[in-house]
Structure 1
């Protein structure tokens, strides 16, 4: 393990991420990036982008995959366990409490109003890393059609994301090999 990072520190950071994140794994991305890249400098922006790409193609929840991967990078298997527990414990406890008292919350107007207020903020939390990732991935006016077309294929036509990823990989290979070879 990196001597400057204790297991307790990793747990507390990922616990904080798990506590303040509403909206699932994608909403966690800017918060994780802020901690891991900007604040602690444990990864570069490019490494973080690669970590997101890696965790998105793996089965399972993005938040769990991301916490596990980053924890492993920082402190091997114990780090992966600590970060994953930290990130998932708040959600687990909240869901457990909701399950225990579901019928009391079910028709509560205050709870419904709170979630109605949280939803637009979650959209922003997902949009911000999208633009940040696009910049890091080298998306420009020349190639911005690729993620737009990919999103439309998945969203409007229901194309399985795996096929979109495979098509993009094949397209990237053909482009790099035959149209504009890199040196």
Structure 2
């Protein structure tokens, strides 16, 4: 049943995603592509929409995917699935963490989770960069290709999207130097994208 599949898919994602919404991005992308619900470009568009709307990124993404797949009931199933693990875990933490916060094993587990979170977020950065700053996915070399220094595949697959790169640099400077409000940054990016399309067709 599609509603159960939506619920279970996002429940699994919510249960193993530590570090917030951005850490969930590679997991959500992998599941959606495996199930054939959407491709990388469409998923990147969903992320942009999710960032522009109020609420957590993961919840917004789950709601959108569910609605696109089967309508309102699908959005409810996906949203419940992605939020339920956090509700369960936080309830357990609130109940038991105070008792075990000095436990060496608990602290060791938490220390192990932190670098995993960094890896997941970095993976999300790579995915968003490929869909926003490049015209196509990078063909990553195999392990033995790297050892042999055979990197021609990855070099040949890099096709920069100069319009996207220019917009990225402009917004990055505006945020870093002039503390541009994130909402204004998103709106400015959209306007620059429209201008780029009207002027250059890209």
TM bucket normalised to smaller: 0.7 to 0.9
The aligned residue for residue 52 of structure 1 is 47
1:45-124 to 2 correspondence within 5 Å? Answer: 45-124=40-119
3-state secondary structure, aligned to 2:180: coil
> For this pair of structures, how many residues does the alignment match?
176
The aligned residue for residue 131 of structure 1 is 126
The aligned residue for residue 190 of structure 2 is 169
Q: Whole-Å Cα distance in 1 between the matches of residues 170 and 114 of structure 2? A: 26
Superposition deviation, residue 8 in structure 1: 1.4
**Structure 2 residues not aligned, in runs of 5+:** 135-159
Superposition deviation, residue 115 in structure 1: 1.8
Superposition deviation, residue 102 in structure 1: 3.4
Superposition deviation, residue 9 in structure 1: 1.6
3-state secondary structure, aligned to 1:10: helix
Superposition deviation, residue 124 in structure 1: 1.4
| Maintained 8 Å contact 1:98/1:105 | no
The aligned residue for residue 14 of structure 2 is 18
Superposition deviation, residue 82 in structure 1: 0.7
3-state secondary structure, aligned to 2:71: helix
Superposition deviation, residue 175 in structure 1: 3.2
The aligned residue for residue 3 of structure 2 is 7
Q: Whole-Å Cα distance in 1 between the matches of residues 39 and 116 of structure 2? A: 26
TM-score scaled to structure 2, two decimals?
0.77
3-state secondary structure, aligned to 1:101: helix
3-state secondary structure, aligned to 1:137: helix
Whether 1:29 and 2:50 are equivalent positions in the alignment is no
Q: Whole-Å Cα distance in 2 between the matches of residues 9 and 141 of structure 1? A: 36
**Structure 1 residues not aligned, in runs of 5+:** none
TM-score scaled to structure 1, two decimals?
0.84
Runs ≥4 in structure 1, deviation > 6 angstroms?
none
1:140-179 to 2 correspondence within 5 Å? Answer: 140=160, 142=162, 143-144=164-165, 146-148=167-169, 150-151=171-172, 153-154=174-175, 158-178=179-199
Taking a change above 3 Å as real, the CA distance of residues 107 and 145 of structure 1, as seen in their structure-2 partners, is: farther
Superposition deviation, residue 27 in structure 1: 0.8
